[in-house]
Structure 1
Amino acid sequence: MPELEVAGKRWTVEPATNLLDALNAAGCNVPYSCRAGSCHACMVRCVSGEPADARPDALDAGRRTEGWRLACQCLVVQDLVVEVFDPLRDGLAAEVLSVDWLIPDVLRLRLSPLRPFRYSAGQHVLLWNDEGIARPYSLASLPGEDDFLEFHLECRDPGLFSGRARRLRPGDVLRLGELHGGALHYDPAWDDRPLLLLASGTGLAPLWGLLREALRQHHSGPIRVIHLAHDASGHYLAEPLAVLAAAHASVQVELITPAELPGILAQFRLVSRRTVALLCGQPASVDEFARRLYLAGLPRNQLLADVFLTRVP
């Protein structure tokens, strides 16, 4: 039976046990979200021993050399000594600049890191609060233009992190895990290709950053933005999107509700095969968007997607 050791605590586990499950069952409180190797929230460092890794390509060579692994993708097949991410040791302090409601169930959180923080539009970062709860959130801000980090928190349903976020005040301090990842990005090589940005709920946050990044890079192809909200009041960026669309003839914005979704999905048969699609939101919405795009003939390598999962208290 293989043994696991964390911070001096050692115990046996069944062979081929998922590493994330084994750590959390022992009370190690390793955060996670997607369980697919995309969000990077569950990174741990293997000090001794090597797990069976289903996604060795999910981390860059530098992090792997340092021993970092995605716990959700690893099985315990031999004795392991593991270090979990410690926000006080490994994280970056960030001061809360503002907390305000864009609509009654979407909280906008702006942070100022206490030292330089490098990121790209569309990426996400792990946020730790003072209760030891961590959650990966996508960045809505644009590096080089915004002098803060901006996050849009869905607070319609209870969440482990969002519940505490409601009580944050300017001057409070959170910790950032600088282990950010995510599938979404903008490539300047897409310059003249059609872009299709599809979001549900606060999945619009990273696409808001990516839309502005594409325009900053003078994207010449058409850009179609579709935002699915639970009802008309849920289009929390309707006004700034309208401003961008008015200023850029190439940008088309469609704000839809579930009742309108079937008609929009039926139009996907007209999508150009050169289109690059960026999807973000709840799993059911992203899966449906992706399925329709595949049926429309969009090559899989031209579709990038991130999903949001809420962990309920």
Structure 2
Amino acid sequence: MPELSVGPQRWPVAPGSNLLDALNDAGLNVPYSCRAGSCHACMVRCVAGEPLDSTPGALTAAQRQAGWRLACQCRVTDDLEVALFDPRRDGLDAELIACDWLSAGVLRLRLRPERPLRYHAGQHLLLYSGVVARPYSIASLPQQDDFLEFHLDCRRPGAFIDRARSFQVGDHLRLGELRGGALHYDPDWQQRPLWLLAAGTGLAPLWGVLREALRQEHQGLIRLVHAVQEDGEYYLAEPLRALAAQYPQLEVEFHAPADLPSALSRLRLPSRQTQALVCGSPASVEAFSRRLFLAGLPRSQLLSDVFTGRA
């Protein structure tokens, strides 16, 4: 039976045990979110031994060379010693410079890291409050904002959300790994119609992508659709309408749950060259994507990012 060790703690585990489960069953409280190898909240560093990794391509070659692995994607087959990600040692400090409610259920955080981060619109980042971590999409734009902005859906309880509700300006958080994310703006799209479809706080990365497209003087039609799960949660409606008034190529529309199916059924592509970016819950991304494909959008012209709750 293989043995797993972390610092002075050492214990036997069943062969083939999931590494994340084995660590948390021992009371080590390794954070996690998606359990699918996407969020990277559960990174640990292998000090001795090697687990069976089902998704080795999820990390960069440099990360793997340094011993980092995603615990949720690894199984313990032989003796293994790991070191846990310590946000105080391995993370980046950031000060909370603004904390305000954009709606009854959406909390906006603005953080200033101790050193600038190089990122692009559409990426996401791990936020740590103590040892509690959660990945969030970045809503800010590096060329225009001197802070990192995040939109938190606070309608349901959660370990990080429960802490976030009491955050105050001047608090410090730690930043974990910056992730690429599927969403971005490509200057080669400049003449093509660009559709941005978001559900709930799936609007956060698309808010950054939209402003990046406008910054790069996108010439094609831009259509942004924001769907919500509850009435009154169009939390960026005013700034979006202001942008639409300023840029004639931009159209924005908002849909409540009752009228969304009808609105989706009316979608018609202005061109086969349309590029679409979709973000939200698994169900909303599936609904958006299905309608776009039925309308004739080639699958290669759809980029999506799915927000999953903690498994």
TM-score by length of 2: 0.92
**C-alpha separation between the residues in 2 aligned to 1:193 and 1:77?**
50
CA, structure 1 residues 30+101, in 2 after alignment: closer, same or farther (shift >3 Å)? same
Deviations 1:199-222 (A, max 9, x none): 111111111011111111222222
Residue 129 of structure 1 and its aligned partner are, at CA, apart by: 0.9
CA, structure 1 residues 183+11, in 2 after alignment: closer, same or farther (shift >3 Å)? farther
Residue 304 of structure 1 and its aligned partner are, at CA, apart by: 2.2
Q: Which residue of 2 aligns with 1:152?
A: 151
Residue 271 of structure 1 and its aligned partner are, at CA, apart by: 6.6
Residue 297 of structure 1 and its aligned partner are, at CA, apart by: 4.1
**C-alpha separation between the residues in 2 aligned to 1:62 and 1:271?**
43
**C-alpha separation between the residues in 2 aligned to 1:223 and 1:242?**
13
Say whether the 8 Å CA contact 1:269–1:295 is kept in structure 2.
Answer: no
- How many residue pairs end up in the alignment? 311
Q: Which residue of 1 aligns with 2:190?
A: 191
Say whether the 8 Å CA contact 2:34–2:310 is kept in structure 1.
Answer: no
User: Are residues 1:209 and 2:179 paired?
Assistant: no
**C-alpha separation between the residues in 2 aligned to 1:160 and 1:311?**
10
Q: Which residue of 2 aligns with 1:304?
A: 303
Identity within the alignment, %: 65
User: Are residues 1:25 and 2:43 paired?
Assistant: no
**C-alpha separation between the residues in 2 aligned to 1:120 and 1:307?**
18
Q: Which residue of 1 aligns with 2:275?
A: 276
SS in structure 1 of the partner of residue 204 of structure 2: helix
Comparing 245-254 and 47-56, the one that deviates more: 47-56
Residue 308 of structure 1 and its aligned partner are, at CA, apart by: 2.2
* Aligned-CA RMSD value: 2.0
SS in structure 2 of the partner of residue 93 of structure 1: strand
Residue 109 of structure 1 and its aligned partner are, at CA, apart by: 0.9
Comparing 108-117 and 173-182, the one that deviates more: 173-182
Say whether the 8 Å CA contact 2:226–2:234 is kept in structure 1.
Answer: yes
SS in structure 1 of the partner of residue 14 of structure 2: coil
Residue 33 of structure 1 and its aligned partner are, at CA, apart by: 2.0
For residue 19 of structure 1, what is the amino acid of its counterpart? L
Q: Which residue of 2 aligns with 1:261?
A: 260
**C-alpha separation between the residues in 2 aligned to 1:195 and 1:26?**
49
User: Are residues 1:56 and 2:56 paired?
Assistant: yes
Residue 275 of structure 1 and its aligned partner are, at CA, apart by: 2.7
**C-alpha separation between the residues in 1 aligned to 2:150 and 2:233?**
16
SS in structure 1 of the partner of residue 157 of structure 2: coil
Deviations 1:206-243 (A, max 9, x none): 11011111111222222211111124411000011111
SS in structure 1 of the partner of residue 202 of structure 2: helix
Q: Which residue of 2 aligns with 1:290?
A: 289
Say whether the 8 Å CA contact 1:160–1:311 is kept in structure 2.
Answer: no
**C-alpha separation between the residues in 2 aligned to 1:21 and 1:271?**
48
For residue 33 of structure 2, what is the amino acid of its counterpart? S
Q: Which residue of 2 aligns with 1:109?
A: 109
CA, structure 1 residues 105+62, in 2 after alignment: closer, same or farther (shift >3 Å)? same
**C-alpha separation between the residues in 2 aligned to 1:144 and 1:246?**
22
Residue 294 of structure 1 and its aligned partner are, at CA, apart by: 3.6
CA, structure 1 residues 23+187, in 2 after alignment: closer, same or farther (shift >3 Å)? farther
Comparing 289-298 and 49-58, the one that deviates more: 289-298
Comparing 159-168 and 5-14, the one that deviates more: 5-14
Say whether the 8 Å CA contact 2:99–2:168 is kept in structure 1.
Answer: yes
Residue 127 of structure 1 and its aligned partner are, at CA, apart by: 0.7
Q: Which residue of 1 aligns with 2:135?
A: 136
Q: Which residue of 2 aligns with 1:172?
A: 171
Q: Which residue of 2 aligns with 1:46?
A: 46
**C-alpha separation between the residues in 1 aligned to 2:272 and 2:7?**
52
CA, structure 1 residues 78+99, in 2 after alignment: closer, same or farther (shift >3 Å)? same
CA, structure 1 residues 294+166, in 2 after alignment: closer, same or farther (shift >3 Å)? same
**C-alpha separation between the residues in 2 aligned to 1:214 and 1:95?**
29
Q: Which residue of 1 aligns with 2:236?
A: 237
Show structure 1 runs of 5+ residues with no match. Answer: none
Q: Which residue of 2 aligns with 1:77?
A: 77
User: Are residues 1:163 and 2:158 paired?
Assistant: no
